[in-house]
Amino acid sequence: MVGKNNKKIARLVNTLLGDGPLKNLLSEIGVIVVDYKDKRTITNDIWKELDISDNHSYERSWPQFLHPEDRKRVEADLKDLVEGKTDYFQDVYRIKGRSGGWRWISNRGGVVLRNPDGSPWIFIGDDEDLTRIKEAQEEASLRAREATILNATIGVITSSLNLDETVHRILEQAQRLVPYDRASVQILHDGYLRIIGGMGFSDNNLISDLKFPYPEENSLSTRAIQERHPWMSNDVQEDFPKFIQVEVDRQTRSWIGAPLIAHGDVIGLLSFDSNNKSFYTHRHLELARAFAGPVAIALENARMHGETYNLAMIDALTGIGSRHSFDLNSRFLFEKARREKHSISLAMLDLDHFKDVNDDFGHQVGDIVLKDISKACEDGLRTTDMIARYGGEEIVILLPETEVKVALDIIERIRRGVSNLKFEGVNRSVTLSAGISGFIPDRDSSLSEILKEADAALYKAKAKGRNCIVAY
């Protein structure tokens, strides 16, 4: 027999379930009341929007609309409720809405009356739609993950000052932020965008000499650079029919181009290609923009380092190696010869009476003479040999895997070629003297030893009357 309190609850439920303003209000504020015995319900506005009928409520069949990852858990909780193991139900789950999308619902409530057999009679609860909150949380979490990835990628791409390595790292790290089938780094120079590195291409030879005119009418790249912000196309053939398709079998359908801006100047473009139409989103566009800034700085730093390195390694006047480059590379070549037990020869060259050339014709003419002779010496060498300006009018040549006899022949050809050179404004020939030393380095040998011996041989050549070669 139902107790006095149960009768009161039953009368209250009858009142709530009766049509009228109270029922409407409860529905609007998210209250749900289910009378399993008489199959009556207050379905709140949330359930109405989800298009879930009253029948699903009192038949407890609504879990069929739950997300697969949530269904098993919710069904287990409902089973405990039905079997009387608990009178309270609380859960947060995803349920499919009318449009087919997933809605996040927070549901809590309890059985306030049970039938004599223990089965639920009256259930009262409330629902709250958490979809927007969850979406905001997921968006915040996504942005936090992207920020973490972006910071990590920046650390990777800025950790090298080698241009080729920097480009490779840029393309490798970019895929963590903007998915692509192919991507390329392009540098703006002399009216063209020239590809200096690519990833995802079936053959990089396809892009080794590829360049695009800038500016070009209706070009997506031109638009991105001129407007100084990333540009996106999800139908390349429609937006720019002249788009150059590098690979016929894998044509670009969607594209993003992000201008690379360093110190206020556009230096190039970072491009992403997808084989799929309508692939990219505005979020991809934002990430491309965020990534392009550090990329531009990394490329500019690598370029400037390369220029600085070249300045240090190449003699500014003659164009051959500098004393610094000789000091660095000669040690490596000497140690290699010692390790592999190969001969190595070194020639020290000095222009004869070069001071007289400067005094008689001026230092500007003297510079031209020194530059032309240095070029002639370089042209007479093999690709494995090393040449550098050692100081003043002295030139040093290191010949790996070369015995003294072979070195003599090489330097002799150079000496003869230089003596036959003609210089504008100079009415005399300019000759050179050379000293050569060479041996197979052993444990006690040193680079300074071979330098000292070649210098001593050069001194003897000058003492012999110049324009000749002496081997130590």
Lowest-confidence segment of 17-26, 91-100, 314-323 by average pLDDT? 17-26
Return the pLDDT at 1.
Answer: 40
Long-range interactions of 122-125: CB distance < 8 A, separation 24+: 122/9, 122/10, 122/13, 122/33, 122/34, 122/35, 122/36, 122/37, 123/32, 123/33, 123/34, 123/36, 123/89, 124/13, 124/31, 124/32, 124/33, 124/34, 125/31, 125/32, 125/89
Residues 123 and 189 in one domain: no
pTM exceeding the 0.75 threshold for the entire prediction: no
Q: What is the pLDDT of residue 271?
A: 95
Residue 231 has pLDDT above 80, yes or no: yes
Q: Does one domain contain both 270 and 327?
A: no
From 129, 163, 186, give the residue that closes a domain: 129
Looking at residue 22, its pLDDT comes to 73
- What's the CA gap between 390 and 461, in Å, rounded? 18
The answer to whether residue 318 sits within a structural domain is no
Distance CA 148, CA 406 (A): 60
Domain end call among 308, 332, 363: 308
Mean pLDDT, range 121-144, rounded to an integer = 85
Helix (H) or strand (E) holding 387: strand 386-391
Query: Do 374 and 421 lie in a common domain?
Result: yes
Distances from the Cα of 72 to the Cα of 65, 79, 116, 182, angstroms = 12, 11, 28, 42
The CATH number for 224's domain is: 3.30.450.40
160 pLDDT band, cuts 50/70/90, is confident
Residues 43, 114, single domain; the answer is yes
Examine the domain organization and report whether 282 and 375 are in the same domain.
no
| Residue with tokens 């932020």, as numbered in its chain | 177
Say whether both 173 and 275 belong to one domain.
yes
Say yes or no: 278 and 364 in one domain: no
Is residue 266 pLDDT above 80, yes or no?
A: yes
Point out the least confidently predicted range of 42-46, 93-97, 349-353: 42-46
pLDDT of 467 reads 96
Query: For position 149, what pLDDT does the model report?
Result: 80
401 and 368, same structural domain? yes
Question: What does the pLDDT read at residue 137?
Answer: 84
Q: Is residue 196 part of a domain?
A: yes
- Beta pairing partners, 194: 187, 211
pLDDT of residue 2: 44
Residue 424 lies in a domain: yes
Largest Cα separation within the chain, whole Å, is: 135
Q: Tens of pLDDT along 326-376?
A: 987 898 899 999 999 999 999 999 999 999 999 999 999 999 999 999 999
Does 461 map to a domain? yes
Average model confidence (pLDDT) for the chain? 88
Structural domain ending residue among the three candidates 308, 333, 364: 308
Host H or E run for residue 45: helix 45-49
372 shares a domain with 436? yes
Q: What CATH number is attached to the domain comprising 71?
A: 3.30.450.20
Distance, CA of 204 to CA of 212 (rounded, Å):
16
* Residue 111 scores a pLDDT above 80: yes
Please count the structural domains in the chain.
3
Q: What is the pLDDT of residue 470?
A: 95
Classify residue 137: in a domain, yes or no. no
Q: Give mean pLDDT, residues 55-61.
A: 65
State whether 184 and 118 are in the same domain.
no
**pLDDT value at 5 more than 70:** no
Considering Cα of 362, then 364, then 370, then 375, what sign does the dihedral take?
A: negative
Q: Per the omega criterion (within 30 degrees of 0), is the bond before 215 cis?
A: yes
pLDDT digit string, tens, across residues 377-407: 999 999 999 999 998 899 999 999 999 999 9
Q: What percent of the chain has pLDDT over 90?
A: 51
Average pLDDT over residues 9-29: 72
Q: pLDDT (tens digit, 9 = 90+) per residue, 161-217?
A: 788 888 899 999 999 999 999 999 999 888 889 998 899 998 877 787 788 889 898
Answer whether residue 221 is part of any domain: yes
The 3 state secondary structure assigned to 104-123 is: EEEEEEEEEEECCCCCEEEE
Predicted pLDDT at 328: 79
Per-residue pLDDT, 417: 94
Task: Give residue 307's pLDDT band: very low, low, confident or very high (50, 70, 90).
Answer: low
Same domain membership, residue 123 and residue 78: yes
Report the percent of the chain where pLDDT is more than 70.
Answer: 94
Domain interval for residue 344:
323-471
237-261: pLDDT as tens digits: 999 988 988 888 899 999 999 999 9
